[in-house]
């Protein structure tokens, strides 16, 4: 991608959401766009426990509150909180959350490994 002439502008309101492991997802920048990272808008209530082998994620809470399990730890989430989740960490969020997730490198939707519920 030539940074001087190519750009992507996408309105979240125009992206049709669908349900996946974490909840309702709107891929704002995705693998097929050929960008270095993916950005997803998520509405999370009760995500499934999962991990990624090749992808790191950065969660930014836009609205709401809840909790996130990361391996054996549990943390509180609320508006303005940022969480870095390295590849290999089992994680799930629950509550009523609206988040932006940046996924590095791209390809996260082919790198979701759901774990059995406890």
In a domain, 2, yes or no: no
Q: Where are the beta strands (DSSP E) in 1-118?
A: 18-20, 23-29, 38-46, 50-51, 56-70, 73-78, 82-85, 91-104, 113-114
In a domain, 6, yes or no: no
Q: How many other C-beta atoms can be found within 10 angstroms of the C-beta atom of residue 27?
A: 24
> What confidence tens digit (pLDDT) does each residue in 52-92 have?
999 999 999 999 999 999 999 999 999 999 999 999 999 99
Which structural domain, as residue segments, surrounds residue 78? Answer: 16-114
In a domain, 9, yes or no: no
pTM of the model: 0.91
Looking at the chain, the whole-number percentage of residues with pLDDT higher than 70 is 95
CATH code for the domain in which residue 34 is found: 2.60.120.10
Tally of domains within the chain: 1
In a domain, 107, yes or no: yes
DSSP string, 36-69: SSEEEEEEEEEPPPEE-SS-EEEEEEEEEEEEEE
In a domain, 87, yes or no: yes
In a domain, 81, yes or no: yes
Position 5 scores a pLDDT of: 62
Strand partners, 83: 59
In a domain, 48, yes or no: yes
Position 52 scores a pLDDT of: 96
Residue 2 reports pLDDT greater than 60: no
Can you tell me the distance from the alpha carbon of 3 to that of 105, in angstroms, rounded to the nearest whole number?
A: 18
> What confidence tens digit (pLDDT) does each residue in 35-51 have?
999 999 999 999 999 99
In a domain, 8, yes or no: no
Q: How many other C-beta atoms can be found within 10 angstroms of the C-beta atom of residue 21?
A: 14
Collapsing DSSP to helix, strand or coil, 70 comes out as strand
């Amino acid at each position: 991608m030539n940074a001087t002439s190519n750009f992507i502008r996408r309105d979240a309101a125009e992206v049709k959401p669908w349900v996946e492991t974490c909840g309702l997802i709107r891929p704002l920048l995705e693998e097929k766009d050929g960008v270095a990272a993916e950005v997803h808008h998520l509405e999370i209530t009760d995500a499934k426990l999962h991990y990624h082998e090749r992808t790191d994620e950065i969660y930014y809470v836009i609205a709401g509150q809840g909790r996130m399990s990361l391996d054996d730890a549990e943390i509180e989430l609320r508006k303005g909180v940022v969480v870095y989740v390295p590849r290999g960490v089992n994680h799930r969020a629950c509550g009523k959350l609206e988040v932006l997730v940046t996924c590095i490198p791209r390809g996260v939707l082919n790198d979701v490994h759901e774990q059995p519920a406890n």
